[in-house]
Amino acid sequence: MPEGLRPPAGVQRVDARVWVVSEPEPVRMDPESFDPEADRGGVKGCRLSELGRYLLHPGPVEIRKRLIGCEVHPARRAPARWWQRVQAGLRRSAPRKQADVILSGLRLKVPAMDDPDLELHLRRLVDELRGYDPFVKKIARLKTERLAHLIGICEDIGGGYSYLKLQGSLEEKMRYLTAHVGREVRVTLHRAHLSEGLFDLRGFPPAAFNPSNAFRLVNYTRGGEPAACVLNALGSVDFRLADPSALRYLSLLEHTLTANPDLQRALTGCFFGKARAVRLFFNKALEVDYAKAGLPALYRSIFRPADLGDGGRNLIKPVLNFGQTAVSLSYLPATDTGEEKLLTQISILHDLRALDPLRKSLPNVYAEISRRAFSLEAGRFYLLDSITGATHGQ
């Protein structure tokens, strides 16, 4: 774990809500003191939580996945390759033979138990059964001279699958697969920010979160372009942000936590022993069609349907389908049974500009919703809906 994420010795953890980032404020600081290439000018700073630092950090993170099998890619014999190239006119390689997939039949999971001796005993029994897994026998029959490479297959939380790049020679890969199939293995991700709007939260140790800890993040310009970095306790650069625009996700998450108690409870539970965080996703491609469904709870709680009338409801429903943004948190609640029940809390935010058609036709509706909106650099938003769904893991 990065040193900056460790709570200082002697610091008492407090049972407070999870937070991400504070609002940026002007600070009296010479940017050249931490970046010789910085432009002269104003600097804005804000406080960054341990979770916020984790989301922005450019370094690798380690997670665990369950190894359940492998893909076997056969090697092509030299005469076959030569004849295929002749047939293809030396213009392109012939398609490879489709890889074989070998999956383990050992899917038994031992849940965490209050009795450590009983848990250890059951795990030993599972290890004894490994020798009877057909997967092990199939791997032992493989001939390395007939193989191009082997790729591991992992089962993700929620029942999805992903590949695992194996290291070493073919013999070493075969030994690794035989020894670890059916078990959780360590997987290294390049960073927590996997792709646009998608963050993996499994690399953050829940017990490490201390709401009282904070880091300093500063925004400035470098060569006329926006720049940002996180400073350490000595005031020097801890790390730079390759893409300062990623800060918009943290600001959006912070405001959503304030606006939605459901999300706040779910995320706080992930760092205080009630659940385990899996991933965070910011998405604008939603499929919630309020033109066909009823009014969301927000509008029903503020305005009685009878007061709006059919005309008012028909005016509101279509505009709710435009300007949506979802903040989705996927997490695993703590259970005694070992069953993996993946929950996703979806906070649907709505751009206030989508309600412009209601300014004159329904001024009271617009005024009340506008009062509930919060401001970001991208505009003003309000919490339109809060949805929680469940997926049972395999």
Q: Tell me: do 181 and 273 sit in the same domain.
A: no
- 220 within a domain of the structure (yes/no): no
- 10 within a domain of the structure (yes/no): no
- 25 within a domain of the structure (yes/no): no
Q: Tell me: do 67 and 173 sit in the same domain.
A: yes
SS (H, E, C) the chain: CCHHHCCCCCCCCCCCCCCCECCCEEECCCHHHCCCCCCCCCEEEEEECHHHHHHHCCCCEEEEEEEEEEEEEECCCHHHHHHHHHHCCCCCCCCCCCCEEEECCCCCCCCCCCCHHHHHHHHHHHHHHHHHCHHHHHHHCCCHHHEEEEEEEEECCCCCEEEECCCCCHHHHHHHHHHHCCCEEEEEECCCEEECCEEECCCCCHHHCCCCCCEEEEEEEECCEEEEEEECCCCCEEEECCCHHHHHHHHHHHHHHHHCHHHHHHHHHHCCCCEEEEEEEEECCCCCCCCCCCCCHHHHHHCCHHHHHHHHHHHHHHHCCCCEEEEEEEEEECCCCCCCEEEEEEEEEEEHHHHCCHHHHCHHHHHHHHHHCEEECCEEEEEEEEEEEEEECC
Residue 96, domain extent:
61-189
Q: Tell me: do 181 and 276 sit in the same domain.
A: no
Q: How confident is the model at residue 4, as a pLDDT?
A: 40
Q: Tell me: do 181 and 305 sit in the same domain.
A: no
Q: How confident is the model at residue 123, as a pLDDT?
A: 62
- 229 within a domain of the structure (yes/no): no
Among the candidates 189, 221, 243, a domain finishes at 189
Residuewise pLDDT in 10s, the chain (394 residues) = 444 444 333 333 444 689 999 999 999 988 888 888 899 888 999 999 999 999 999 999 999 999 999 999 998 765 555 555 555 554 454 445 678 999 987 665 555 556 676 666 666 666 666 666 789 889 999 999 999 999 999 988 877 889 999 999 999 999 999 989 988 899 999 999 999 999 999 999 877 788 999 999 999 999 899 999 999 888 889 999 988 989 999 999 999 999 999 999 999 999 888 899 999 999 987 778 887 877 888 888 877 755 666 677 788 888 999 999 999 999 998 876 556 789 999 999 999 999 999 999 888 889 999 999 999 988 999 999 999 987 644 4
Q: How confident is the model at residue 44, as a pLDDT?
A: 93
Q: Tell me: do 265 and 387 sit in the same domain.
A: yes
- 132 within a domain of the structure (yes/no): yes
- 52 within a domain of the structure (yes/no): no
Q: Tell me: do 169 and 275 sit in the same domain.
A: no
Q: Tell me: do 388 and 276 sit in the same domain.
A: yes
Q: How confident is the model at residue 128, as a pLDDT?
A: 61
Q: Tell me: do 171 and 281 sit in the same domain.
A: no
Residue 89 burial class via C-beta count within 10 angstroms: exposed 0-12, middle 13-18, buried 19 and up: exposed
- 269 within a domain of the structure (yes/no): yes
Q: Total structural domains in the chain? A: 2
- 278 within a domain of the structure (yes/no): yes
Q: How confident is the model at residue 232, as a pLDDT?
A: 86
Q: Tell me: do 183 and 271 sit in the same domain.
A: no
